[in-house]
Amino acid sequence: MTTLPKPRQPELKTSLPGPKTAAIMERDSQHLSTSYMRPYPFVPDHGEGVWLTDVDGNTMLDFFAGIAVSTTGHAHPHVVRAVQEQVTRFTHVCLTDYPQEITTSLAERMVRHVEKPGEKWRVFFGNSGAEAVEAAVKLARNHTGRSHIISTIGSFHGRTYGAITLTGSKTKYKRGFGPLLPNVSHVPYPNPFRPPLGATAGTCGQAVIDHIEGLFQTIIPADEVAAIIIEPMQGEGGYIVPPADFLPKLRSLCDRHGIMLIFDEVQAGMGRSGKMYSFQHFDGQNGMNCQPDIITVAKGIASGMPISAMLAKESVMTWPVGSHGSTYGGNPVAAAAAHATLDLLEGVVKHSGCGDSLMENAAQVGEFIMAELKAMQAEFPFIGDVRGAGMFIGLEFVTPDGRPDGKLRDAASMAMFERGLLNLDCGEAVIRISPPLILTREEAATGLEIMRDALRALK
């Protein structure tokens, strides 16, 4: 059983960055790619649970988990043990050519969370979210014999050529990199807080469906569309939850036209939303189904070890032997970390203070955080919206007339950091709260107190 570090209150840092942090950041700025972003000065030295200590000895509460990756926190003993054991056996053979039991059993375990009676799924393993997305799109094209892909505005799918083409969140990901993949179109994402297409919060799901059907009449022949790829809860675009009727209606639209439905669960999946996959919040509700044909996962799957997966219905995974592969994909050490992560997510191994499973903890502590943040809206009118599910939570900052306030968001993010809370922005004016799923209610309360204090300082 794990012993958790006691909740503590980080102190206000008035002299950030510390000298060691500053020195490393200076070397970093000299030698690393000019494309890396540095939202605030932080250089980690070691971590324990939900706490990260920097090279100058400042201990920070982690509310972003390396962009929704560190599911089990930092240096979780169960994950560390699994990795150590596998490293002493073998670290690489190449899954494309030889099976290895640890990845076979990982695939068996992952499909159990999506398979329905009479339906079998298969898994392709890669190393990153973008690779899972590439695999999904290649499979959809190969299976359907069609080429067109529809994605959404606000989406993020990764940095490879296919993935940046699909991405619709910021032009900086594409500027200067063209030409991109042909035959890709973007449609609005049904954001209930800022409904597109002149719709309302309640009608924006149907409005997007009508918009796509309109495109099929005017611009894109439906029988040339291989797939629609969408994040069931949009991450980088602003931590947005679509209206409940939308994904089932999108499933029906795909069925009507023989189009593959791909759910990109890279950010919201693996228990973060309180269910294994975020689409499962909508599947089976009111008798409506929205099971996709293909799912991509990465990030939270292995507590930070690099592995990703593309899951597809057996009837869809028809590409021939040798048509796709990866030298490192499904690496056994990363697979061991994924098994250990799943042990904790499913509750096969318990983490003390986190109920029956980390998935349950994500749902319960996430609900607590959301309720507290909604209560804070009364004190801070510039918090325009609080939304999410489980520990996938977005906080949108607005101007007095309701427009996104990115400047205020940036100031809030820095004020939180200075008080010891690691956080990350997304969308135009959103702070995402995506802590490790081992976060207890007490630790969550500590983080919320820091947020409140930082927001008061802004006023």
Shortest Å distance, C-beta 130 to ligand PLP? 3
Q: State the residue for tokens 């791909």.
A: 262
- Buried b / exposed e over 181-203, threshold 16 CB at 10 Å, is beebebbbbbbbbbbbeebeeeb
Which residue number, 21 or 128, has a Cβ lying nearer to ligand PLP?
A: 128
By C-beta, is 17 or 394 nearer to ligand PLP?
A: 394
Comparing CB distances to ligand PLP, the nearer of 298 and 358 is: 298
- Distance in Å, CB of 180 to ligand PLP, minimum: 16
Can you tell me the distance from the alpha carbon of 85 to that of 106, in angstroms, rounded to the nearest whole number?
A: 16
Q: Are the C-beta atoms of residues 75 and 305 closer than 8 Å to each other?
A: no
Q: Are 136 and 310 in contact (CB under 8 A)?
A: yes
Q: Shortest approach of ligand PLP to residue 344 CB, angstroms?
A: 21
164 near 173, Cβ under 8 Å? Answer: yes
- Residue 154 CB, shortest distance to ligand PLP, in Å, is 11
Measured in whole angstroms, how far is the alpha carbon of residue 31 from the centre of its chain? 29
Q: Nearest approach, Cβ of 105 to ligand PLP (angstroms)?
A: 23
Indicate the residue among 60 and 310 with the shorter CB distance to ligand PLP.
310
Task: Return left, alpha or beta for 240; rule: phi > 0 is left, psi -120 to 50 is alpha, else beta.
Answer: beta
Are residues 70 and 78 in contact, defined by beta-carbon separation less than 8 angstroms?
no
- Of 232 and 274, which CB lies nearer to ligand PLP in the complex structure? 232
CB atoms within 10 A of CB 279: 26
What are 124's two structure tokens?
Answer: 């392709």
Amino acid at 8: R
Binding site for ligand PLP (CB under 6 A): 67, 128-130, 133, 156-158, 231, 235-236, 264, 266-267, 298
Q: How far is the CB of 324 from ligand PLP (least distance, A)?
A: 17
Q: Are residues 295 and 283 in contact, defined by beta-carbon separation less than 8 angstroms? A: no
- Measured from the CB atom, the residue of 264 and 443 that comes closer to ligand PLP is 264
Q: Cα 398 from chain centroid?
A: 24
Residue 446's identity, in one-letter code, is: T
Report the residue number, 56 or 236, with the smaller CB distance to ligand PLP.
236
Looking at the Cβ atoms of 173 and 319, the one nearer to ligand PLP is 173
Nearest distance from residue 433's CB to ligand PLP, in Å?
15
Q: Which residue's C-beta sits nearest to ligand PLP?
A: 129
**For ligand PLP, which is the closer residue by CB, 4 or 393?**
393
Q: Which is nearer to ligand PLP, 10 or 235 (CB)?
A: 235
**Distance between CA atoms of 69 and 298, rounded to whole angstroms?**
8
Give min distance, CB of 426 to ligand PLP, in A. Answer: 9
Q: How far is the CB of 68 from ligand PLP (least distance, A)?
A: 7
Closer to ligand PLP by CB, 4 or 135: give it. 135
Backbone angles phi, psi at 391, to 5 degrees: -100, 40
3-class DSSP string for 92-161: CCCCCCCCCHHHHHHHHHHHCCCCCCCCCEEEEEECCHHHHHHHHHHHHHHHHCCCEEEEECCCCCCCCH
Cα 337 to the center of its chain, rounded Å: 18
CB of 436 to ligand PLP, least distance (A): 17
Angle CA 349–351–357, to nearest 5: 70
| Smallest distance, ligand PLP to C-beta of residue 275, A | 16
Q: How many other CB atoms sit within 10 Å of the CB of residue 151?
A: 26
